[in-house]
Amino acid sequence: MITMDFAYYRPKSIAEAVNTFQDLTLQNKKALYYGGGTEIISMARMNKLQFAAVIDIKEIPECNVMQINNQKLTIGAAVTLTKICETNLFPLLSRAAKATADHTSRDKITVGGNICGLIPYREVVLPFLLCNSQVILAGKEGQRTVPITQIFDKTLKREKSEFIVQILTDRTFIDLPFEFVKKTKMEEIDYPLVTLALIKLGDEIRAAVSGLCSFPFRSSRLENEINQISVPLQTRIDNIMSNLPGPILNNLQGSAEYRDFVFRNTLLDALAKVGGAS
């Protein structure tokens, strides 16, 4: 039960959503864009999140698109992870979606909500980072389309009034060979110790990671190391581990020391599979 009082809005258009946000801001009310609500509800119930209003974007038509058109896959921010898995237009994304939470939660969790959430893992962002997807954001200044790699740095750097409308992914990327590995403390349905997503473009391997640090990331440094095929694998991995973008996460799911161990082996195995070992 949530004891905090808040207003609930369900706009039918992008403009209405943005205007609502603006109105609330002018009244000094903190508003949150709302997708599946799994995180907002559970945090609000525990009094770990304060807000005056939520703006539910699930009835905005553009946010519910899931289709391939003109060689682009368009995914609306309000598409649920269950739908991602069921339609399976983007196999790597399906894997990342299916690795998130349990089925009941995936019926609610949306693509946009997962990417913009507060939880450290947000594994759904990994495939988009690897595919240089484009994010369409709507805000008080109108809409803009930005490469996700440009605006995702630990979190999605958006203006306060902005929300994700859609994510566009070039069709050529979605069928690339990939590897997706999620390692957990004990059971399949849990937060990750580490999640590693790899795709292969010709000889180039791209990698994105969740669970290792307190945020998901794709780093050019890591990819440079991975792709230096001439360097012994063990050396490359040592180099990667000493140049991580942040400290290794240490929490209930696993100690930093154990995550280090698991990630090294996961990377080793994954690279062997996609042909990046030597």
Q: List residues near other proteins by CB under 8 A.
A: 1, 3, 46-47, 102, 183, 185-191, 252, 254-255, 258, 261-262, 265
Contact between residue 44 and residue 55 where contact means Cβ atoms under 8 Å apart: no
Strands 53-56 and 7-9, bridge-based pairing? parallel
Our separate counts of H helices and E strands in the chain read: 12, 13
Are 192 and 184 in contact, with CB atoms under 8 Å apart?
yes
Locate tokens 């030597």: which residue?
A: 278
Nearest distance, CB of residue 189 and other proteins, angstroms: 6
Residue 106: CB minimum distance to other proteins, A: 14
Looking at the Cβ atoms of 22 and 255, the one nearer to other proteins is 255
Instruction: In angstroms, give the least distance from the CB of 3 to other proteins.
Output: 4
In angstroms, the Cα distances linking 244 to 208, 215, 249 are 12, 12, 11
**Distance between CA atoms of residues 224 and 34, nearest Å:** 37
Measured from the CB atom, the residue of 243 and 265 that comes closer to other proteins is 265
Q: Within 13 Å of residue 181, how many CA atoms lie on the same side as its CB?
A: 21
Identify the CA nearest to 48 among candidates 39, 57, 56.
39
User: Whose Cβ is closer to other proteins: residue 173's or residue 191's?
Assistant: 191
**What CA–CA distance (Å, rounded) separates 11 from 254?**
41
- The nearer residue to other proteins, 188 or 203, going by C-beta atoms, is 188
CB of 141 to other proteins, least distance (A): 37
**Residue 20: what residue type?**
T
Q: Judged by CB, which is closer to other proteins: 214, or 255?
A: 255
Alpha carbon 131 to its chain centroid, in Å, reads 12
Q: Smallest gap, in angstroms, from Cβ of residue 110 to other proteins?
A: 19
As measured in angstroms, the least distance from the Cβ of 39 to other proteins is 11
Nearer to other proteins, 11 or 254 (CB): 254
Instruction: For the CB of residue 186, give the shortest distance to other proteins in the complex, in Å.
Output: 5
Instruction: Give the whole-angstrom CA distance, residue 137 versus residue 63.
Output: 11
- Of the pair 26, 252, the CB lying nearest other proteins is at 252
